[in-house]
């Protein structure tokens, strides 16, 4: 045990698979998908070619007091629901000095629903119909700020933005703050609720989304030969990260340890990953090295794999280059869809649970593995796996690469 080990003492999530961590995890183990046909008027209004998505299984507004919910964009609602679960789970409420508690909650785009709704109201009905809360509701730091307000965090509240890597990047910053002994606890993760007509149209226009409208449950299929794009989802994942010494002093239960963080940037293209996977490999190597481990120690990778034709293979190349072909892989986006700014955090939670329970969830909908992958990917049923260390990686539009190394507690 090192002198400043960082442990995970609380988990919280709301996803397309369930309104909390346990229902989400159980659905992942069962290999079920949260993707369905969207029941939204904007699909017809804009004649969208994509009619599927992964909306939250439980409306976060139903899990908050009405007076609180009505002042929050859906993204902040999801963040707050997940954060309250995690904070409660950590039992940290009266056991930490607020001046040494921080929040880091990332998001890809923040309160886009509010922005679009209020723009339409202003345009159609005039200034008097616009909500005076529009600014705090749309600002991307809103989710982080509301979480900080709810738990009374006074050390700092931060909101990193790196597209699909935001949730993982939040955990990376939390780790650095804790390692430098600036804080004792960081409530960290990501949130996204951007299933709107405009956002879907935008992603569809960029030809990034699956068009498997007739078979939504099977549309998100990481590494499958028939994959044709990702599926947009909503969600939030929050972890309570804590200095090990602080956690042990108050008798807190540790799910796992966050032992290393690696970051890099591709400097290659504004959306496509470097096809050689070299930037991603650097991040993974750095995450293992900063943990003081060897690649051979890493028995499992919880991968980013979004189910796109161009993205899934560079990551496989990167994993093989950085770690070898021995790790057992899973691609959680088959079950979850792509939660954008929340993905990295929800997937980190799944990584923690894999270590804790010795179980790797199957990659949902993976029927025929693309031969270019060249790795051992769990599909069909969960696999028992005893390993001390696991890596989870997240990559965002813009070439942002984050890798996190967890070990058993």
CA pair distance 40, 268, nearest whole angstrom: 36
CA pair distance 153, 187, nearest whole angstrom: 9
The neighbour count for residue 294, using CB atoms within 10 Å, is 11
| b/e code 319-355 from CB counts within 10 Å (16+ = b) | bbbbbeeebbbbbbbbbbbbbbbbbbbbbbbbbbbbb
Site string for another protein, 196-235 (x = CB under 8 A): ----------------------------------------
Site string for another protein, 47-66 (x = CB under 8 A): -------------------x
Active site residue 300: no
**Least distance from another protein to the Cβ atom of residue 162, Å:** 31
Count interface residues toward another protein (CB under 8 A): 9
Active site residue 338: yes
Return the range that interacts with another protein (CB under 8 A); candidates 110-118, 127-135, 205-213, 380-388: 127-135
Instruction: Name which of 297, 309, 317 is nearest 391 in CA terms.
Output: 297
Alpha helices in 6-63 (DSSP H): 21-29, 41-45
Told to check if 67 binds another protein by CB under 8 A, we report yes
Beta bridge pairs of residue 300: 328, 390
Return the range that interacts with another protein (CB under 8 A); candidates 129-137, 212-220, 237-245, 330-338: 129-137
Active site residue 304: yes
Q: Which of 132, 251, 267, 386 binds another protein (CB under 8 A)?
A: 132
**Least distance from another protein to the Cβ atom of residue 63, Å:** 17
Which of 158, 164, 246, 400 is labelled catalytic? 164
Instruction: Give just the sign of the alpha carbon dihedral 44, 45, 50, 51.
Output: negative
Label the pairing between strands 156-158 and 101-106.
parallel
Task: Pick the closer one to another protein by CB: 66 or 384.
Answer: 66
Which of 146, 300, 338, 400 is labelled catalytic? 338
CA pair distance 135, 101, nearest whole angstrom: 26
Catalytic residue set = 164, 304, 338
Q: Which stretches of the chain bind another protein, using CB under 8 A?
A: 66-67, 71, 128-133
């Amino acid at each position: 045990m090192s002198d400043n080990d960082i442990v995970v003492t609380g988990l919280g999530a709301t996803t397309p698979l369930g309104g909390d961590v346990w229902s989400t995890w159980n659905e992942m183990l069962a290999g079920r998908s949260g993707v369905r046909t969207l029941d939204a008027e904007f699909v017809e209004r804009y004649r969208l070619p994509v009619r599927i998505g992964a909306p939250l299984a439980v409306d976060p507004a139903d899990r908050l007091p009405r007076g609180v919910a009505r002042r929050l964009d859906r993204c902040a609602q999801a963040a707050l629901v997940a954060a309250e679960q995690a904070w409660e789970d950590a039992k940290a409420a009266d056991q930490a000095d607020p001046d040494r508690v921080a929040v880091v909650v990332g998001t890809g785009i923040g309160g886009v629903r509010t922005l679009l709704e209020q723009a339409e109201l202003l345009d159609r009905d005039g200034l008097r119909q616009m909500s005076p809360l529009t600014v705090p509701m749309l600002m991307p730091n809103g989710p982080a700020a509301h979480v900080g307000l709810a738990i009374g965090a006074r050390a700092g509240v931060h909101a990193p933005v790196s597209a699909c890597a935001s949730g993982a990047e939040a955990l990376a910053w939390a780790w650095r703050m804790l390692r430098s002994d600036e804080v004792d606890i960081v409530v960290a993760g990501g949130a996204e609720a951007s299933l709107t007509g405009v956002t879907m149209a935008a992603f569809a226009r960029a030809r990034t989304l699956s068009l498997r409208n007739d078979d939504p449950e099977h549309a998100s299929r990481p590494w499958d030969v028939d994959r044709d794009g990702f599926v947009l989802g909503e969600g939030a994942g929050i972890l309570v990260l804590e200095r090990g010494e602080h956690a042990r002093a108050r008798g807190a239960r540790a799910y796992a340890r966050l032992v290393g963080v690696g970051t890099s940037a591709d400097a290659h293209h504004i959306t496509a990953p470097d096809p050689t996977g070299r930037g991603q490999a650097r991040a993974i190597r750095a995450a293992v090295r900063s943990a003081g481990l060897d690649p051979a120690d890493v028995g499992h990778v919880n991968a980013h794999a979004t189910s796109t034709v161009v993205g899934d293979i560079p990551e496989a190349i990167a994993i093989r280059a950085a770690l070898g072909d021995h790790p057992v892989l899973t691609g959680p986006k088959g079950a979850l869809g792509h939660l954008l700014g929340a993905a990295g955090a929800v997937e980190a939670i799944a990584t923690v649970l894999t270590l804790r329970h010795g179980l790797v969830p199957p990659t949902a909908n993976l029927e025929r593995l693309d031969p270019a992958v060249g790795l051992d990917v769990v599909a069909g049923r969960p696999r028992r796996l005893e390993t001390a260390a696991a890596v989870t990686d997240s990559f965002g539009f813009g070439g942002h690469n984050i890798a996190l190394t967890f070990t058993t507690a």
